[in-house]
């Protein structure tokens, strides 16, 4: 390692994908249920290009995971028991359409 002017930066935001040096935009929090208890979270960070790759990598192993924007505050909730939430952050997913039934009063 070459001495960098800012060593030991706490929020290192370089993509966790091997060989990628791009600034990360996403944070993937995950755990391995076989070795981590439910309160434990490992954190990877990923650039736009690799967030899907890393998420699939973990989901394929049935690891519970959550994908958050890098700037989001740290989550304190325990991860769910299964990796059944592949799209924790999907801008197209939530469009609450509250339809109120129209009642025809006589």
Q: Which stretch binds Zn ion (CB under 5 A): 16-24, 37-45, 77-85, 93-101?
A: 16-24
Q: Is 15 in the site for Zn ion (CB under 5 A)?
A: yes
User: Using CB under 5 A, which of 26, 28, 41, 47 touches Zn ion?
Assistant: 47
Q: Which stretch binds Zn ion (CB under 5 A): 12-20, 32-40, 55-63, 97-105?
A: 12-20
- What tokens does 41 get? 């979270």
């Amino acid at each position: 390692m070459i001495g960098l002017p800012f060593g030991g930066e706490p929020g290192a935001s370089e993509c966790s994908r091997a060989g990628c040096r791009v600034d990360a935009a996403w944070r993937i929090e995950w755990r391995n249920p076989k070795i981590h208890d439910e309160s434990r979270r490992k954190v990877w960070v990923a650039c736009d290009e690799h967030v899907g790759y890393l998420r699939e990598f973990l989901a394929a192993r049935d690891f519970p995971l959550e994908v958050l924007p890098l700037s989001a505050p740290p989550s304190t909730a325990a991860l769910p028991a299964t990796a059944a939430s592949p799209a924790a952050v999907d801008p197209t997913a939530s469009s609450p359409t509250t339809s109120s039934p129209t009642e025809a009063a006589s």
